[in-house]
A = this chain, B = another copy of it.
Amino acid sequence: MFKVQVIIKRRPSILDPQGKAVEKGAFNMGLTNIKDTRIGKFVEFAVEAVNKEEAVKEIEEYCHKLLSNPIMEDYEYTMEEVL
């Protein structure tokens, strides 16, 4: 089994209105030194696979088709085999 951690971020050229909104809330609460907030996703899961190649195939498909929006997001992941 492999444990996988994925970070999904909007591409730098894509605006992040959620980040802007949260940052404005922070400013209004007196946290005036926070800049450039961008909010992405962090996903953890496990894959049952016979070898690393099979696991990578499944991970890539999961990330590409379900976890991220390939039009405007990029993902990166780390994986670790657990016995």
Contacts and interface: CB of A to CB of B under 8 A. Distances in A.
A48 interface: yes
- How many copies of this chain are found per oligomer? 2
A37 B63 CA distance: 12
Contacts of A22: 66-67
B45 A33 contact: no
B7 A33 contact: no
Given A36-B46, A42-B40, A42-B41, A61 B31 contact: yes
Contact of A44 (B25, B37, B43, B65): B37
Interface of A: 7-9, 19, 22-23, 25-26, 29, 31, 33-49, 58, 61-62, 65-67
